[in-house]
Chains A and B, each alone.
Chain A
């Protein structure tokens, strides 16, 4: 059995859940495969921490898939268990650090959304350099971009930033599913044209 775990973190309203759904739908072809992963969603409110997990499970054979000791999977990712972490908000990348190990790929968006406590002057928002140096203590594979700016420039809107981030993921990490599978999921969904463009954009960053 092989596993590939992706943790996606960020804030409510950033399209985190959609990213998870796209990645899961891209993995429906093979029979010897399982996909799972829970989402943390509160109410409809904005700006709270949101995370979603995408867990791909590949069985060696049918016997393994029917073995009750092998075929039951937690909807969560354990500490140090992510092959890749995508974060759409810099501070939340640091909260996502718990999923990282020395081989994990980290992709993060460096546009900060400041929490209320910072707004009120009660705490300080960490510098990007601090965030990067903390991440580097765990893994060397760190990539960050101003994805908000890229999305605004190309699409006049922030709604594409999540799909751009997925493109970057495929460019930087060895994801065990086909790009074309993601593309066909995007092609079937809402806003297909822009999403395909955003994905391609991310792939070339």
Chain B
């Protein structure tokens, strides 16, 4: 947001452009939270990041980037029981890790309001699956609120704390990536007085002790509370029936899909059908649905994923004796993100209404073209140490793109920036599921397929998240595996939150409790452990080769800080030193005359700063290091088998002037 002070100081009457995630955080702030935590995960990260960033100017606010979601939700529960309103955030798959505390939360109930904000990721642009966490509530009984836009993201979050306290449930606030990363107008409300946020834990054995017959009693209590909540939801402001026509057709929707639906009606020119907007998608009151069904013959549920609403609505229809037909997944896909286009298509098919001409033309044109266009995938940043790590691994196991050589080493993937190593040109992962699956699945494979060596990868943040018991297990059970920890000191993919490995903050301040990863690994019983710089690719590659020959659990720590953080720190430390920024010291350059275009740097390493240029002399093309993007990591310099890359003293300014006269990059 442009005026970040408004996030802290804004009040009734103010407005600003904010991100969906920031709106959720602001709602929690208006509700007077004193605790906020998460394990970072896209698309939810900014929810806690914005609070953490501003906490110096917010009285009585504790924030925490916890080591995993299980710990994070437990922390929120402890805060709530101490009388502190608490916000916990996570991405969709985070709830798998936090499912245990979530399961117990209905049994014990809350004291001060507790909201669990979940960033779901339909289409999985930044996740390893697209699970719909709403299904969890069928057994955790956590009520679910689904805001449809930025304003509701804030308002619902604020209200969620009251509902949480009134019915003693932790409330799930569900926001898909489309809302988390939607930026738009937010009208602020007032913030609750923060002076008196103080914890006071009162014993409550009736609720907090949860075993034997006490657990059975608590089970009955939450089922009762659930019925009370359902009653409250018949008339609440969160669920709305829109009806002024005579139509016998009804639409039910929630969340962002509801916003798509309303716009789709506008685009198709449809204004007369009955609509139910569910602000609470769990629990759903039979009475509310019965009222909505009145006078209807056909009802269609418009939602994403596998039909969580449809499942409940059909059950209620059966229980209330509705005679009409209910549709849903016949018209809207169960997989992938449901876009505005998908809703337009679905509604037009359902109502048998023609598509607008320009919409029809554009979507056909795109379909016809899209198959022909080269796909584009993300890759490591320029100078990223992971690129050097993957290059070293592939060289050590004899893989080559240019010569089409296969590798027979099994490589276990895991979750983090380095996951991108599974994409071309590296193709350096054989399986990828959830956090820390790599080593444990890899361990079993190495047990049963003795002909293949197995390398398991993990990042520092992922290792600390839940990797320690996995490594201990491998040691205890005598596994034969090479474990490479790619330690770049940050949870980089989600926006650079600190990990126990972070040595220095971005402003150069040393971290308080830096962990010695090598010592930790040793103390877990690994005798073969070495820490080295992945950018020294020859040394690193040789080390991998020799580690693969050893028996037992071997750990290599590829230790080098995320390049983005390094650059940011240097910029902030040297921002007044124009000389460093503008002239530079040395640069890397490919000597056209010596380069034989073996493609070692261009395809095998594939640093995006190395580009192809048209040679105006002979019409051919040549490889060229773009000085405007090269960060001088020196890896290409080390790997060129023909010594065609040299380090040169360089005046950047004159190069840029020169560039005007140089041929354009060709394709």
Contact = CB atoms under 8 A, between A and B. Distances in A.
A36 B184 contact: yes
Interface stretch (B134-142, B208-216, B371-379): B371-379
Given A75-B179, A79-B362, A91 B373 contact: yes
Contacts of A78: 263-264, 267, 340-341, 344, 359
A43 B2 contact: no
B97 to A, nearest CB: 19
A120 B263 contact: no
Given A95-B370, A101-B358, A138-B362, A20 B492 contact: no
A80 B381 contact: no
Given A36-B150, A37-B184, A49 B376 contact: yes
Contacts of A81: 267, 358-359, 362
Interface string B412-446: 00000100100111000000000000000000000
Nearest to B262: A72
Contacts of B377: 47-48, 115-116
Interface in B344-376: 344, 356, 358-363, 365-366, 369-370, 373-376
A194 interface: no
Interface residues of B, number: 89
Interface string A137-168: 11000000010010011001110000000000
A178 interface: no
B264 to A, nearest CB: 8
Given A48-B376, A72-B148, A116-B379, A37 B356 contact: no
A52 to B, nearest CB: 8
Given A20-B183, A28-B16, A189 B2 contact: yes
Contacts of A117: 374-376, 424
Contacts of B667: 112, 114, 118, 124-127
B656 interface: yes
A34 B424 CA distance: 42
A13 B365 CA distance: 28
Count chain A CB atoms within 10 A of each CB in B340, B582, B653 and give the residue with the most: B340
Contacts of A34: 184-185
- Scoring A21, A36, A126 by chain B CB atoms within 10 A of each residue's CB, the highest score goes to A36
Interface in A2-56: 11-13, 20-21, 24-25, 28, 33-49
Nearest to A72: B262
A77 interface: yes
B207 interface: no
A73 B181 contact: no
For the residues of A in contact with B, the DSSP-based class is: loop
Most buried by A among B184, B266, B417, B564: B184
A149 B659 contact: yes
Contact of A36 (B182, B341, B652): B182
A193 interface: no
A40 B121 CA distance: 11
Interface stretch (B316-324, B511-519, B520-528, B601-609): B601-609
A98 B362 contact: yes
Contacts of B339: 76
B659 A152 contact: yes
Interface string B250-277: 0000001011101111110001000001
B665 interface: yes
B631 to A, nearest CB: 12
Contacts of B267: 78, 81
Nearest to A36: B184
A12 B362 contact: no
Contacts of A157: 628
A41 B183 contact: no
Given A73-B259, A73-B262, A78-B341, A43 B365 contact: no
Contacts of A60: none
Interface string A96-110: 011111100000000
A21 B183 CA distance: 8
A33 B17 CA distance: 12
Given A20-B183, A98-B362, A44 B495 contact: yes
Nearest to B242: A68
A156 B653 CA distance: 7
Given A114-B667, A117-B374, A77 B340 contact: yes
Given A80-B363, A116-B423, A118-B374, A43 B240 contact: no
A180 interface: no
A119 B602 contact: yes
B340 A44 contact: no
Interface in B131-160: 148-150
B366 A98 contact: yes
Contacts of A138: 361-362, 365
A40 B43 CA distance: 10
Nearest to A92: B376
Nearest to A47: B379
A125 B374 contact: yes
Contacts of A35: 17, 184-185
B125 A115 contact: no
B612 interface: yes
Contacts of A119: 425, 602-603, 606
A156 B635 CA distance: 25
A176 to B, nearest CB: 16
A138 B496 CA distance: 42
Contact of B149 (A36, A116, A122): A36
A12 to B, nearest CB: 6
A189 to B, nearest CB: 7
Contacts of A99: 362
A132 interface: no
Contacts of B495: 44
Given A28-B15, A116-B606, A68 B182 contact: no
Given A35-B17, A98-B366, A28 B374 contact: no
A79 B656 contact: no
A34 B185 CA distance: 7
A73 B420 CA distance: 34
A28 B488 CA distance: 40
A102 B183 contact: no
Given A75-B184, A80-B361, A146-B664, 13 more contacts: A11-B376, A25-B17, A48-B379, A49-B376, A79-B341, A81-B359, A100-B362, A111-B664, A112-B667, A115-B377, A138-B365, A149-B659, A156-B582
Interface of B: 2-3, 15-17, 42-43, 125-126, 148-150, 178-179, 181-185, 240, 242, 256, 258-260, 262-267, 271, 277, 339-341, 343-344, 356, 358-363, 365-366, 369-370, 373-382, 401, 417, 420, 423-425, 492-496, 564, 582, 602-603, 606, 608, 611-612, 628-629, 652-653, 656-657, 659-660, 664-665, 667
19 contacts: A13-B381, A36-B150, A38-B182, A46-B379, A47-B378, A48-B377, A72-B258, A75-B256, A76-B340, A80-B360, A81-B362, A94-B369, A97-B365, A117-B424, A119-B606, A120-B425, A126-B373, A188-B2, A188-B3
Interface of A: 11-13, 20-21, 24-25, 28, 33-49, 68-70, 72-81, 91-92, 94-95, 97-102, 111-127, 134, 137-138, 146, 149, 152-153, 156-158, 185, 188-189
3 interchain residue pairs of minimum CB distance: A48-B378, A80-B362, A98-B366
